[in-house]
Amino acid sequence: MGVHMKTALKSLSVLFLLVAFAMMPLYSQGSKETVAPKGEEKVTLTFVEVLTSPSRTKQLQDIIADYEKLHPNITINLISPPYEQADNKLTMMLNSNQELDIVEVRDHTIKQFVNNKKIIDLTPYLEKWDEYKDLLPLTVEAAKTVDNTPYLLPQFFYIKGLFVRTDVLAKYGITEMPKTLDEMYADAKNITGKVAGQYGYGFRGKGSPFKISDLLILANVPNISKDNIYRTDDGEFSFNTPEAKKSLTAYKDLFEKAAPSDSVNWGFNEQVNGFISGTTPFLVQDPDTVSMIGASLDASQYTVIPMPVGKSGKAYLDYGFAGLGIPTSSKHPDEAWDFISYVVSAGVNAKFCKEYGPLPVHASTYQTDPFFSSGVYKAWETEMSQPDTYVFVKYPLESAKYPAWAQTEEPSMQAFVLGQTQVDDLVGQWETYWK
Amino acid sequence: MFVPTFVFLATFIYYPLCKGVVVAFQNYNMFDLTNVHFIGFKNFADVISDKNTSFWKVFLNTIEWTFFSLLLQFLLGFVLALTLRKPFRGRGIYTGLVFYTWALSGFAIGLIWSWLFNGQAGLVNDLLIRFHVIEKPIGFLSDPRYAMMSVIATNVWYGVPFFGIMLLAALQSVPNDLYEAAIIDGAGAARRLFSVTIPYIKPTIVSTLLLRTMWIVNFPDIIYAMTNGGPVNRTNILSTLMINKVFRQYDYGQGAAIGVIIMTLLGVYSVIYLQVAAKKDGT
């Protein structure tokens, strides 16, 4: 071969490889419909979860297998991106109009999906659903978070409870559980330092820490609005009240006297580790932590109690939730709904929640299933059945300022507990943000 | 002949670059994707005037991070290269062992070192206490006084091999005659180093320093894994700020704006740096 021929061939093959490489995305399409040779039309649904964890994915796969047995013409393809990137991945998939049929929607992603017109209104399906009336009023309220329209069907509730290492406390002579925050703070500070390495409170310093600190600090303010935790009934900024400012100072005091200094950097994992190792016997967390703790501790070593009330006599709780929705790009919304109504049916939902941990969404579950009103779950049952003491409040999830709030609150709160900022400056910064 | 290379560069480098710069001037955020439009320099203004994350502080952090990482990596890398220049028994194995840190992923290194620096049970604290250097454990990553030096230490551990390899190659290219001539002239080891070795490998030093500066400025992996910019933004650098803008706040416009700022700063720095370096050479 001549030189020119060789170089021409070389360039051509490189160009061909480049083109083939660039076309790779075309080969990775989502599932396509296949028609069975005889009988019913086969449908494949694509389901994207976002709260991925190895144990939960396994449970989902079992549920899917059961559903497929009941509906042999339907196959469900489960996509499980790793937890840290899952929200982003799903947003990308929806925005590139990939054909998805069922998606897991969270309380802080629903506004964005609705705004970008990526999920459909479920009202026509819910109206015809026989289990709709069985849903808790809280479930219906959560479903209608955006524009008072149900864009998702919630599956799980995440409500804070106080996890307590009863064995560690007993070592120091504390046998009675704290009913008020003042009592809990006192207990935590009492045991700190009694033995080297012993602290009292599992402080959350990193990773949306406001979800926990807000509850402890604002519990002392008597008239927080149920529609927005950051406003009082009089329209004031919640932290700009004398009770809240005193409470902030007490919270800083708790950090200084009852938490390891390292905890300004503690995220979820470190909090749970601190609890399991006994370093920090008080932990404020959601019910899905139960299965994680249960794997390492014996039932006799810990318990969960309702959140201690503040000086207002109340404990404010926000209800985090996650559920399922149907993307606008789905070509099989009816089949998708059928699967959703199966997964969120009272029976399946109860079973799923028992294994995975969070609170189920049907009223009947709490009435008929002793699991959710006994043992450690008694704490949450108490919280959900005494609305005057345990008041459910909402975060301003609809506000355009909400997504950036975590990144803003975290360093400012860290600066405060480390003594770099004063209370009034902190409250001023926050109030300016939420104006 | 240039066509395939050009196509490759255009597709994978220049097109995303241009698109990224365009996004910096748009209100591109996840919250409101159906309404993307041009907003001029607003993203830049918002990023620079953000009261909650002082841009000036982040900028100074970036300089601190880059300067000390670079200085220590260079010095230790140079010493390493000088040590490895002459053959000794086991040099091959030793070289392999010392250079392996360069093969590790920055994020993985960050995770490992965050456990080594752990404020309660970390190895570093344990050793310091055993050798009676300190009495109580230090929260290396949670105390704003120690966080930056801890991440810099980790970066130095990671980056020494780069200078080691590049400078070793340069050192081995210095002709022996120059050294022989210097010895005949009565030059001692230090004199030989500063008058023969360093001037000869100066081009390598200039280019590796510039390259490494750009890489360190754009290296968020270690900080992201160890402190994610905390505590209280003490270790927040421009690239970690950019990541958080995109992945926590879902604001692509502002993230792109920070990217453009980084690119401009590095561009200006390179131009000035190369001018200064060339001047010193030329005269």
Whole-angstrom distance, CA of residue A371 vs CA of residue A378: 9
Shortest distance between the Cα of A61 and any Cα of chain B, in A, equals 28
Is domain B60-234 given the CATH code 1.10.3720.10 in the classification?
A: yes
- Position B34 scores a pLDDT of 76
Residues from chain A that touch B6, judged by Cβ atoms under 8 A, are none
Within a domain: A18: no
Within a domain: A11: no
A202, A298: one domain: yes
A327, A273: one domain: no
Touching check for A115 and chain B: CB below 8 Å?
Answer: yes
A180, A300: one domain: yes
Contact B249 A403 (CB under 8 A): yes
| ipTM exceeding 0.85, yes/no | no
What stretches in chain A show pLDDT beneath 70? 1-9, 11-40
- Position B196 scores a pLDDT of 86
A166, A278: one domain: yes
CA distances from B101 to B98, B105, B109, B161, B162 (A): 7, 9, 9, 7, 10
- For A397, residues 6+ apart whose C-beta sits below 8 A from its C-beta are A107, A108, A110, A111, A145
> Which residue of A265, A415, A432 is in closest CB contact with B141?
A265
Q: Indicate the domain borders of chain B.
A: 60-234
- Position A34 scores a pLDDT of 44
Shortest distance between the Cα of A423 and any Cα of chain B, in A, equals 16
Whole-angstrom distance, CA of residue A297 vs CA of residue A274: 13
> Which residue of B33, B228, B229 is in closest CB contact with A116?
B33
Residues from chain A that touch B229, judged by Cβ atoms under 8 A, are 411
Q: Which residues pair with A362 in a beta bridge?
A: A135
Q: Which residue of B has its CA nearest to A4?
A: B1
Report which residue type is found at B38: F
B 105-164 residues with CB < 8 A to A: 118-120, 139, 141-144
- Position B246 scores a pLDDT of 87
- H helices of chain B, in order, are 2-9, 15-24, 42-49, 55-85, 91-99, 106-116, 123-130, 144-172, 176-184, 189-192, 198-200, 202-217, 221-226, 238-247, 252-282
Query: Which of B120, B240, B246 would you mutate first to test chain A, the one with the most A CBs within 10 A?
Result: B120
pLDDT in tens, A319-362: 899 999 999 999 999 999 999 999 999 999 999 999 888 999 99
Question: Residue B53, by phi and psi: left (phi above 0), alpha (psi -120 to 50) or beta?
Answer: beta
Using DSSP's 3-state secondary structure scheme, residue B271 falls into: helix
Whole-angstrom distance, CA of residue A401 vs CA of residue B213: 36
A195, A65: one domain: no
Contact B142 A262 (CB under 8 A): yes
Q: Which residues pair with A156 in a beta bridge?
A: A322
Query: Which of A87, A204, A264 would you mutate first to test chain B, the one with the most B CBs within 10 A?
Result: A264
- Position A33 scores a pLDDT of 44
Residues from chain B that touch A262, judged by Cβ atoms under 8 A, are 118-120, 139, 141-142
Contact A418 B52 (CB under 8 A): no
Roughly what angle, to the nearest 10 degrees, separates helices A289-296 and A268-277?
Answer: 40
Q: Are β-strands A153-158 and A282-285 bridged in parallel, bridged antiparallel, or unpaired? A: unpaired
- Domain span including residue A208: 161-318+397-434
Look-up of token digits 């303010």: A221
A220, A314: one domain: yes
A55, A128: one domain: yes
Q: Are β-strands A282-285 and A303-305 bridged in parallel, bridged antiparallel, or unpaired? A: unpaired
CA distances from A310 to A5, A8, A281, B63 (A): 84, 80, 20, 46
A65, A138: one domain: yes
Whole-angstrom distance, CA of residue A373 vs CA of residue A368: 10
- The CATH number of residue A205's host domain is 3.40.190.10
Report which residue type is found at B111: L
Report which residue type is found at B223: I
Using DSSP's 3-state secondary structure scheme, residue A257 falls into: helix
CA distances from B270 to A71, A222, B261 (A): 64, 59, 14
Task: State the Cα torsion A277-A281-A285-A288 to the nearest 10°.
Answer: 50
Could you tell me how far CA A56 lies from the centroid of its own chain? 14
Touching check for A14 and chain B: CB below 8 Å?
Answer: yes
Whole-angstrom distance, CA of residue B241 vs CA of residue A123: 41
Contact B33 A412 (CB under 8 A): no
Cis check: omega of the bond before B231, within 30 degrees of 0: yes
A125, A216: one domain: no
Q: Which two tokens stand for residue B210?
A: 């510039």
A102, A149: one domain: yes
Question: Residue A371, by phi and psi: left (phi above 0), alpha (psi -120 to 50) or beta?
Answer: alpha
- Position A16 scores a pLDDT of 65
| C-beta of residue A104 within 8 angstroms of C-beta of residue A338 | no
R_g (Cα) of chain A, nearest Å: 25
Report which residue type is found at B175: P
Q: Which residue of A has its CA nearest to B11?
A: A22
Touching check for B52 and chain A: CB below 8 Å?
Answer: yes
Contact B230 A263 (CB under 8 A): no
| C-beta of residue A169 within 8 angstroms of C-beta of residue A300 | no
Report which residue type is found at A433: Y
Residues from chain A that touch B136, judged by Cβ atoms under 8 A, are none
* Ordered DSSP codes for A192-231: TTSSTT--SB----SSSTHHHHHHHHHTT-TTB-SS-TTB
Touching check for B278 and chain A: CB below 8 Å?
Answer: no
A169, A304: one domain: yes
Look-up of token digits 């950051």: A230
A295, A426: one domain: yes
Mean pLDDT, consecutive 10-residue stretches, chain B (283 aa), reads 84 91 90 82 91 88 96 94 87 85 89 89 91 88 91 94 90 87 86 86 90 93 88 92 86 93 94 85 54
| C-beta of residue A212 within 8 angstroms of C-beta of residue A160 | yes
Contact B230 A411 (CB under 8 A): yes
Contact A260 B7 (CB under 8 A): no
Shortest distance between the Cα of B220 and any Cα of chain A, in A, equals 17
Within a domain: A352: yes
